[in-house]
Amino acid sequence: MIKDLSFEKYCYFPTLRTRHAELKGLGELDAARKSRILPLLTLGKWPQATDFLRAADKVKEAMGDLPYFLDLTADGRHLVDHLKALRDPSGYFSQWRAFVSAYPYAIPVVQLPSDARSRDIIRQAVEIERSVGKVAFRIRDFAKDTPLVVSALSAMDDARNALVFIDCGYIRAAIAAYVAATITTINQLRAEFPEAFITALSTSFPSSTKPFADSSQLRGSINILERDLHERIGGHSVAAYGDHGSVHSVVYDDAPIMRWAARIDYPREFDWYFERRPKDQSAEGYISAAKEIVKVDPDIGSRKIWGEQMIVDAANGIPHAKAPASWIAVRVNIHLARQLELSESLSQGDSNDTDDDDF
């Protein structure tokens, strides 16, 4: 199945980590929508896990028999010994390739550790292409990673078997710089491989919503800059669209949550609307927030999106949970559904844009 996979049939390539909330949001996506996304899942530690197997199993559980990309966390605090073993370049990263081979619907992301030889990285890509049929690259360090990816593509049988993710991470602080860097990277790749399939990844969801609240501190909205970046690099005619699933790019899993307020985030096409109740951690806080969100969008609950139904239920006095992680899952789920449909609409619009001279 993977060998026959066509990247062109997809319009939306979200990336998520193997945290419970993110996988819950993905897992609750309905089957029809889930079959139309091709996500990149990054393995990290799972609670009380001693290796990455449980995280990989949870990904498999969330995706079922649908294809996905599998990557390793770049955070060295996660299961240090096991991470080091899977990123060991010996045998052209044989341990990483063997690990992913246990999951027949997973496409490995080529590992690019800074201490590995170029030859080992390039041969890793070649071996993945031969055994799996498809391969992915993830460019995070534009200057260092891009030449390696170009070399690896050159060594492959067919560069069209690869998908190249350009991952900008958090862009809100310097979107103009990330736009310029992404365009430069795309041009470097396309100069050698005009047919290369490229996806631009980014996130603008902040670590805190408080700076975006209005004067009441009860509500606010956050514009989705991922869409801005994608449009400014040329839209779907230049690169496919991807994002971090409405999650901030840095997660402080080791930091204890000392203070939090009941908050529900409601993703829309071009912004995240939120309702928060400062100093309130009760079920009533979530009920109050949900009631206000339902007032904002009278169509909520009509789109057959699990996360929207959770908000409707809370507005009716039955919140599914009263903890931040559970509501992150709601946000991720709604975001995936809404951005999938927007991506499909915008992609279709791009394909229909034709100059008069073409007639």
27 lies in some domain: yes
Note down the domain range covering 138: 2-351
Query: What pLDDT, on a 0 to 100 scale, did the predictor assign at position 224?
Result: 98
**How far apart are the C-alpha atoms of 127 and 257, rounded to whole Å?**
43
Query: What pLDDT, on a 0 to 100 scale, did the predictor assign at position 191?
Result: 97
**How far apart are the C-alpha atoms of 222 and 153, rounded to whole Å?**
38
358 lies in some domain: no
Total domains in the chain come to: 1
359 lies in some domain: no
Closest among 343, 356, 353 to 33, alpha carbons compared: 343
Query: What pLDDT, on a 0 to 100 scale, did the predictor assign at position 163?
Result: 98
Q: Which residues contact 201 (CB under 8 A, 6 or more apart)?
A: 13, 15, 40, 165, 166, 167, 168, 242, 243, 244
30, 35, 327, 309 alpha-carbon torsion, rounded to 10°? -20
Residue 237 main-chain phi, psi, to 5 deg: -70, -15
357 lies in some domain: no
**Total count of residues recorded for the chain:** 359
Calculate ∠ Cα 84-85-91, nearest 5°. Answer: 125
Distances in Å between the Cα of 260 and the Cα atoms of 35, 210, 214, 257, 324 are: 35, 11, 18, 7, 8
Query: What pLDDT, on a 0 to 100 scale, did the predictor assign at position 78?
Result: 73
203 lies in some domain: yes
**What is the DSSP pairing of strand 271-277 with strand 219-223?**
antiparallel
Query: What pLDDT, on a 0 to 100 scale, did the predictor assign at position 252?
Result: 53
Q: Which residues contact 285 (CB under 8 A, 6 or more apart)?
A: 261, 262, 277, 322
356 lies in some domain: no
Query: What pLDDT, on a 0 to 100 scale, did the predictor assign at position 256?
Result: 53
289 lies in some domain: yes
244 lies in some domain: yes
Give the domain CATH number at 223. Answer: 3.20.20
Closest among 79, 122, 67, 71 to 96, alpha carbons compared: 71
Q: pLDDT below 50 — which residues of the chain?
A: 254-255, 354-359
> Could you tell me how far CA 295 lies from the centroid of its own chain?
29
Which tokens belong to 237? 């005619």
Which tokens belong to 111? 């590992």
Counting Cβ atoms within 10 Å, is residue 353 exposed (0-12), middle (13-18) or buried (19+)?
exposed
3-state secondary structure of 71: strand
Closest among 263, 307, 257, 270 to 287, alpha carbons compared: 263
Distances in Å between the Cα of 316 and the Cα atoms of 265, 291, 295, 311 are: 17, 8, 12, 9
